[in-house]
Amino acid sequence: MPLGQDIPLYPEIDPFENGTLSVGGGHVIYWEQSGRTDGIPVVFLHGGPGSGATPAHRRFFDPAIYRIVILDQRGAGRSAPLGSLVDNKTAHLIDDLEVLRQQLRIERWLLFGGSWGSTLALAYGLAHPERCLGFVLRGIFLGRPAEIDWFLYGMRTIYPEAWTKFADFLPPGERGDLLAGYHRRLADADPAVHLPAARAWSVYEGSCSTLLPHPELVGSFAEDRHALGMARIEAHYFRNGCFIDGDEMLRRIDRIRLLPAIIVQGRYDIVCPIVTADALAAAWPEAEYRIVPDAGHSAMEPGIRSALIAATRSMTNRFA
């Protein structure tokens, strides 16, 4: 992606269909479809885990070409109950995608995911390669222990002010294990306990997500519903190693490596550093690897946004 190239999002659109799906464990997930009813099916997988999707996420895809499927994963966004950890593991999210795909009568679809969404896209693809058209992946995360440790402690090397606020939310005696301290508060049923912890966790992540300061983005991360869904579910997943083996995923990439794939990675992504994208690209040499030289983690940074839209345009030529 040439430095300075700026491709805008597609115009705002409304869904032509939406609904909810009961998937067990008390979970009801929200889903929607927009764009062309007979278009190339693509499913958008949001990050976090737990962050939820927004109307802006429809706009990475040409609505005259794509049939755009968006869902909020268990416990996230418009799905209910918000922040529920019951029966909320990676395997459940993979199964939910299969149930939704079958309900919508989609034979195969393109997987589009960033950050945790890239993890889920890969996990789904390895479980169901025959249901995948291809992959557009951004800000690669594999849930490995070193990646989780980096989020909790390593990001202070670049964002010491944000990390200090994150760590200092806990009393001094609990700062040696930030994940345990936050997890205990986030899982508490009392909003007076879990909401302040959720805001502190979410604002920390938002503050480290862009190359340049972005107060509006940080403010959206502080919003109660977004903060609770993301922080509680992230802490739950991180405490359990994201319920996957990221190294094993790399070893099994042969199951999908002949499918078309584009990897988009910000050079200065601090939340999901480029070393993980490098590992995926090395294991998957057939994938196109596009490093954005002037961007961090957020999908909405101009360089990342432009690269993702260019990727969805490129993919249309493969399925025409």
Nearest Cα neighbor of 57 from 41, 75, 69 is 69
pLDDT in the model for residue 320 = 67
pLDDT in tens, 205-247: 999 999 998 899 999 999 999 999 999 999 999 999 999 999 9
Length of the chain: 320
CA distance 97 to 123: 11
pLDDT of residue 96: 98
* pLDDT exceeds 90 at position 52: yes
Query: CA-CA distances (angstroms) from residue 308 to 4, 10, 69, 272?
Result: 15, 12, 16, 17
What's the confidence (pLDDT) of residue 319?
A: 82
The 10s digit of each residue's pLDDT in 132-184 is 999 999 999 999 999 999 999 999 999 999 999 999 999 999 999 999 999 99
pLDDT above 60 for 295: yes
Query: Helix 145-152 vs helix 224-239: angle between axes, to the nearest 10 degrees?
Result: 140
The full set of domain ranges for the chain reads: 17-143+242-319, 146-241
> What's the whole-model pTM score?
0.97
Angstrom distance (rounded) from CA 301 to CA 287: 23
Distance CA 228, CA 198 (A): 5
Any idea of the CA torsion for 238, 266, 311, 14, to the nearest 10 degrees?
60
Residue whose C-alpha is closest to residue 231's, from 51, 86, 90: 51
Q: What is the mean pLDDT of the segment spanning 40-67?
A: 98
Counting Cα atoms < 13 Å in the Cβ hemisphere of 316 gives: 14
3-state DSSP assignment of residue 169: coil
Q: Is pLDDT above 60 for 57? A: yes
Tell me the catalytic residues.
115, 269, 297
- Which position has the token pair 């997930």? 29
Q: Specify the 3-state DSSP secondary structure of 266.
A: strand
Residue 1: the pLDDT is 44
Quote the percentage of the chain above a pLDDT of 70. Answer: 98
Residue range 17-143+242-319, CATH number: 3.40.50.1820
Q: What is the pLDDT of residue 88?
A: 98
